[in-house]
Amino acid sequence: MSDYTQIVDYSVKDALTTGDAAKRIKGSEIDAELAAISTAIASKADESVIGSAGGVCGLDGSSLVASANLPQATTAAKGALEIATDAEVLTGTDTARAVTPAGLEAWAAQNASVVKDLSDLTDPDADVGLFWDESANALVWLNYSADFAFAGTTIGLAVNYANASNLSSGTIPDARIQATGVTQHEASLTIAETQITDGAILARLAANETVAGNWTFSGTLTYGSYDVGYREVPPNSQSGNYGCVLADNGRHVLHPNGAGSGDTFTIPANASVAYPVGTVLTFVNRDSNALSIAITSDTMYLGGTTTTGTRSLAQNGVATAIKVESTVWIITGTGVS
């Protein structure tokens, strides 16, 4: 952008005497002046198109683009934005102003008790409350519709739901506990319900606790280093030759009536099936034909003797084999020879 600068000083010509050749104004001088004026005009903004589409932006007194000439920014287009005040951020209804980190800090300071990542909620409109779990030293969320009981203006915890990481004492009747992180229940806590779901809730029970009702477990339940067994001795009925498996520990392997002759039940080697020391295998023969009880490469002693090898179990005989060392078993019972 350039300004017009006069080329010829015409006032000087007025002081010259008549007839002086320099007093004359030449056409070339006029052309030069007009060309300079035209160039200056062409480099200037057309005020009639300031702020219009395809036009230019005018400057204010500070040589900045005037805000009146800038479009407002939207979610779909770039443009000017005004910074929201803390009050506007806290109100939370403005859709045109931008929030700064300082404004966000002011909002968080006032709303820390109700902040929730809505992506964690199945229903973004769910009513939840924030509570401090002292035992977990963390904030927890309770759903008003599931975790509370409402009676007029009174709000209480629903008795059929408890979500906590530490239940200290007392009795929770008919409690369905959803608490994946529960690792210990304190002394004198009684849970009188058969349905406790969702995770390994009772990883450790402290002294003087009562767990009532019927419980069903999947997997292996251990006490110390030993698996907890059955009150019964469940049967595993087998006709024909059979190799014992790890699941036979604590059960009885039945040779049923009519199974036939020449059958052998075999205890596998420790290298094949590593029964823990203390494993008990019980064999029952209901068939009229004798049942052979063999062992592979390990050693099986007949109880009260130093005799080893395959044993014979008569009809209606019961034999118990106990693993006493990693590769040593002792077998004894009624009808064993």
Residue 241's CATH number: 2.60.120.640
What is the structure's pLDDT at 242?
A: 97
Predicted confidence at residue 193, as pLDDT, reads 45
Residue 166 φ then ψ, to 5°: -155, 115
Distance, CA of 74 to CA of 51 (rounded, Å): 18
Same domain, yes or no, for 254 and 286? yes
Is 171 among the domain residues? no
1 is a domain residue: no
136, part of any domain: yes
245-267 residue pLDDT tens = 999 998 999 999 999 899 999 99
Residue 209: partners with Cβ closer than 8 Å, 6 or more residues away: 185, 187, 188, 189, 190
Tell me what pLDDT residue 175 has: 41
Q: Would you give the end-to-end CA distance of the chain in angstroms?
A: 119
Q: Give residue 285's domain range.
A: 232-336
* Residue 58 lies inside a defined structural domain of this protein: no
- Residue 180's pLDDT is 42
This prediction's pTM: 0.41
Q: Is residue 34 part of a domain?
A: yes
Q: Is the residue at 188 inside a domain?
A: no
Can you list the residues of the chain whose pLDDT is less than 70?
1, 45-69, 111-132, 139-219, 223-226, 229-231
Q: Are the C-beta atoms of 240 and 253 separated by less than 8 Å?
A: no
Angle at 206 between CA 200 and CA 208, to 5 degrees: 125
3-class SS letters over 119-171: HHCCCCCCCEEEEEECCCCEEEEEEHHHHEEEECCEEEECCCCECCCCCCCEE
How many domains does the chain fold into? Answer: 4
DSSP E strands in the chain: the ranges are 128-133, 138-143, 148-151, 154-157, 170-173, 189-192, 210-212, 222-223, 226-227, 235-237, 242-243, 252-255, 264-267, 280-285, 291-295, 299-302, 311-325, 328-336
Strand 311-325 and strand 291-295: the pairing is antiparallel
Q: What is the pLDDT of residue 311?
A: 97
d(CA 289, CA 258) in angstroms, rounded, equals 9
Residues 6+ apart with CB under 8 A from 244: 253, 265, 266, 267, 268, 273, 281
Q: Are 97 and 126 in contact (CB under 8 A)?
A: no
Do 238 and 299 reside in the same domain of the chain? yes
Contact 283/319 with Cβ under 8 angstroms?
yes
Question: Do residues 152 and 245 both lie within one domain?
Answer: no
**pLDDT at site 63:** 59
Domain-located, residue 293 = yes
Residue 80 sits in the same domain as residue 152: no
Q: How many angstroms separate the CA atoms of 179 and 200, rounded?
A: 8
Specify the residue for token string 């350039």. 2
At residue 263, the pLDDT reads 96
